[in-house]
Amino acid sequence: MSKQSPTLDEMIAAAAAAQGPAAIPRLDENFSSIDPCGLREINFEMMDLVADGLNNVARHIRPFTLVSWAWRRAYAVAGETTIDHHLLPQIEDFVSRIETIFAWSNFLADPHAPLPGSSALQRIIARAEFTFGGAEWAAFDKVRRNSTALSAAINYGPGLKSLGWLKRHSVNSRVLVPSEEATAALDAFEERIRDRLDHPAFTAFGSVSVTRDEAMAWADGWSIDSLTDEERAFAARSLYGDLASPSRAKGIGYLLQAAEALGDMEPGQVRKAVAGEIEGFGPDGETEGTAALWKALQVRQLFRLSVEALLAWIIDRLSDGPAETQSLASKFMDEAGIDPASSGDAALLSLMQADEPVTRAMDDISAALARPLRDGLALAISCGLSLSLANAPEEPKSYGKDNDRLPLAKAASQARARSGKPAGNLVKHAIETWALAQHVAWAVRRGLADARRGGNTIIRLKTVVDEGGWGVLPGTGRLNPNPTPDRIQTALMLAAECAAA
């Protein structure tokens, strides 16, 4: 077990008692490059306007059915017609057990089954028998519930509620109740797995043992590709039908219109279509608003990638030693082929026209980031920023709580204010404010939040001001940003399962 970090009072006391300088143990901390500039939340908010209720993990229907059915089965085992809250810990344990057996069974049949938690389940997968009870199960389940469980918040948990499979009990929010509309789907699923329902794992609370052979024998009945018509029907209604929110029904409906027009469900092609980049496909009067939201999301995706790629470019250059912002700006303009004597308009604002393909600009940045020497990255970033700004709203909006997440309209307003000045002014602003200041502010903010709640100690800060200018902290490796997954693949995969014969 790692030694617990000293408290602030302990550190103050140790400093007061010190007789002189002393060596300290080497820090053994985790590093993170997730959302380094704090721009991700706006992307998610924009996704909620066209694909609310989805995430980038929950891409299959069967896990929704399985978890919903497990809650219903738990109440049947309890013999309760109403929720008896003192049984809730046993009910939650039962649901966890069913989820784990389901995953174990599927991974035995297919080690590459598209379910979360294959690594975490290795200790169970290899067993000839596992007991769901006792200290080992309790310790395993405690970790799994918030990480690799189907019901975890990062997996299928949010969608179970937002897509209408489960709803929270009016008295106790920990209690989940299957929706009435899902009854036919759960009944059909139960009929598929009737061969195992007399096993203690499905009929009793408390400690239960399951053998590897039993788990393997159950695999076919509840595999991901063994959906019933009733499951498909309810999933379609909740995804884009009469049970979907209006925004989701319109957003995913437009994706499916694009896929039908293309004759192709490939996410990259559909993304190009909804970004307005496929000739022959466009919105009609009823879909213009939805089409505009999808296009705006892709522009925001490009802007976020461009800013994070700019931070990656800066960190690469600082690996040779500290540098002032002006020096970084000069290097960037040289690599991007920008004339320092030109105006800000030529630097970034006019490199690309608004109708250039947004998805191609993202691909160009990603390709440059993947090259060993990252040659061409500065030019790709310049074009990405230019295209983002060209598609930004003309007038700044009221940003509210998102103001510090650098809305595109805010960045465009700042860029326009510098359009008549030398190119270096705008490039320097982009480096110093959009990339470095955003990164430092969010890294420090998240570090303080971790400290206040006593959470994991994660080093997010990568750049600091040194004697020679900006420098990188020890341990900082290459930053490798990627476009934020925008739920299009999730939506198309779920829709394909809904429509499967």
Which pLDDT tens digit goes with each residue over 7-65?
Answer: 667 777 888 888 888 776 665 567 777 899 999 999 999 999 999 999 999 999 999 99
Over residues 412-429, mean pLDDT: 91
Nearest to residue 379, comparing CAs of 344, 339, 337? 337
| Tally of helices (H runs) and strands (E runs) in the chain | 22, 8
User: Tokens standing for 289?
Assistant: 């608003």
Separation of alpha carbons 312 and 37, rounded Å: 11
Residues 6+ apart with CB under 8 A from 405: 38, 39, 41, 42
- 346 vs 358, which has greater pLDDT? 358
The beta strand positions in 304-432, using DSSP E, are none
CA atoms within 13 A on the CB side of 497: 24
Query: For residue 397, what pLDDT is reported?
Result: 56
Query: For residue 274, what pLDDT is reported?
Result: 96
Q: How far is CA 477 from CA 27, 101, 135, 201, 416, in A?
A: 16, 39, 39, 47, 34
- 28 vs 228, which has greater pLDDT? 228
- 350 vs 202, which has greater pLDDT? 202
Separation of alpha carbons 153 and 110, rounded Å: 25
Over residues 373-402, mean pLDDT: 84
pLDDT tens readout for residues 101-131: 999 999 999 999 999 999 999 989 989 999 9
Query: For residue 330, what pLDDT is reported?
Result: 96
Give the phi and the psi of residue 16 in degrees, each rounded to 5.
-65, -30
**178 pLDDT more than 50:** yes
Q: How far is CA 349 from CA 352, 385, 411, 414, 424, in A?
A: 8, 8, 11, 11, 13
- Tell me how long the chain is: 501
Query: For residue 24, what pLDDT is reported?
Result: 67
- Where does the pLDDT of residue 82 fall: very low under 50, low under 70, confident under 90, or very high at 90 and above? low
User: Tokens standing for 342?
Assistant: 């030109």
Helix 88-109 crosses helix 61-78 at what angle (to 10 degrees)? 140
Greatest mean pLDDT among 74-83, 295-304, 477-486 lies in 295-304
pLDDT tens readout for residues 280-303: 999 999 999 999 999 999 999 999
Query: For residue 466, what pLDDT is reported?
Result: 82
Over residues 235-256, mean pLDDT: 97
**456 pLDDT more than 80:** no
Separation of alpha carbons 102 and 96, rounded Å: 10
Separation of alpha carbons 441 and 40, rounded Å: 14
Give percent above pLDDT 70 in the chain: 93
Contact by Cβ (8 Å): 173, 92: no
Nearest to residue 407, comparing CAs of 300, 318, 251, 480? 300
Nearest to residue 384, comparing CAs of 491, 277, 309, 460? 309
**340 pLDDT more than 70:** yes
Over residues 350-379, mean pLDDT: 93
Torsion of Cα atoms, 318 then 323 then 328 then 329, to 10°: 160
Q: Which amino acid is present at 188?
A: A
- Where does the pLDDT of residue 492 fall: very low under 50, low under 70, confident under 90, or very high at 90 and above? very high
- Domain regions of the chain by residue span: 53-238, 300-472
- Where does the pLDDT of residue 155 fall: very low under 50, low under 70, confident under 90, or very high at 90 and above? very high
Separation of alpha carbons 235 and 499, rounded Å: 10
Mean pLDDT computed over every residue of the chain:
91
Over residues 447-476, mean pLDDT: 81
Separation of alpha carbons 394 and 416, rounded Å: 10
**194 pLDDT more than 90:** yes
**454 pLDDT more than 70:** no
